[in-house]
Amino acid sequence: MCSGRVDLSFVLRAFLDGMDGVFIGGCRLNECNYDTHGNYHALNMVLLGKKILEYIGLNPNRLRIEFMSSADGILFAEVMNDFGSTVKKLGPLGRSEGIDENELKTKLEEITKLVPYIKMVKKEKLAARPGNPKAYDEFYTSDEIDQLFREVISYYIDPGKCQACMICAKRCPVEAIISVKNQIHVIDQEKCIKCGTCLEVCPPRFDAVAKISGEPVPTSIPEEERTIER
């Protein structure tokens, strides 16, 4: 499998399942047999993932990527021994970092839910080809990651404007909008991937969908109060 197909959610899922370290091996950079250069995507994903691990309090060295060919058997053995030794010294996930198990699980679950949003916001960098290995550590800055999570976007349907036209519900790619005929629609924030489709398709004459940045989403009105009187 091309290393470019290793999604950030796969890495987070591994940590959620209790893995103490995650290693990704890819073909040498600029030697892609199919000209897709998926290994650059994998590199960018790992650089971003390491900063995210650091953001939630985990040691970024628990995630590693290396590039080599199928002929590099000795190098592969050396790299794996080194990574295994590193993870062993770090110890069980979260314990050496002083993070409570339940707290860590909550943090990883919250970040995992945001993966589609993160990929959308950082799509240009994820598609870039950083040329200088010495600059990898600064490809994503700590301030950049802080801002990413501080300014997370959410979408909210204004109950005073919604006309229950059901357009947004039909176009939502993950069925995150609770919709019933003649009832005010509500976005299920647990399912929402923050793609903005609802905002794009809501008829301008209604202007019912609001984009919220860095603020809590207003509480949805109770189901019994959602009926629209025509």
Q: What is the pLDDT of residues 196-228, one digit of tens each?
A: 999 999 999 999 999 999 888 999 999 999 999
Q: Which residues contact 23 (CB under 8 A, 6 or more apart)?
A: 64, 65, 66, 80, 83
Q: How many CB atoms lie within 10 A of CB 151?
A: 11
The Cα 147–Cα 214 span in angstroms is 9
In this structure, the dihedral spanned by the alpha carbons of residues 137, 96, 114 and 149, taken in order and rounded to 10 degrees, is -60
The position carrying tokens 């290793």 is: 6
Q: Which of 11-15, 55-59, 123-127 shows the lowest mean pLDDT across its residues?
A: 123-127
Q: What share of the chain is helix, strand, coil (3-state, %, to 5)?
A: 45, 10, 45
Q: What is the pLDDT of residue 59?
A: 97
How far is 196 from 215, CA to CA, in rounded Å? 16
By the 8 A CB rule, do 179 and 169 touch?
yes
Tens digit of pLDDT for each residue in 158-177?
Answer: 999 999 999 999 999 999 99
Please tell me the predicted confidence (pLDDT) of residue 30: 87
Give residue-wise pLDDT tens across range 36-58: 888 899 999 999 999 999 999 99
Helices (H), the chain: 8-16, 38-55, 73-90, 101-113, 115-121, 123-126, 142-150, 167-171, 197-201
Q: What is the mean pLDDT of the chain?
A: 93
Eight-class DSSP state of 27: P
Kindly tell me the burial class for residue 98, based on how many C-beta atoms sit within 10 Å of its own C-beta (0-12, 13-18, 19 or more).
Answer: exposed
- Domains of the chain by range and CATH? 3-150 (no CATH), 153-225 (3.30.70.20)
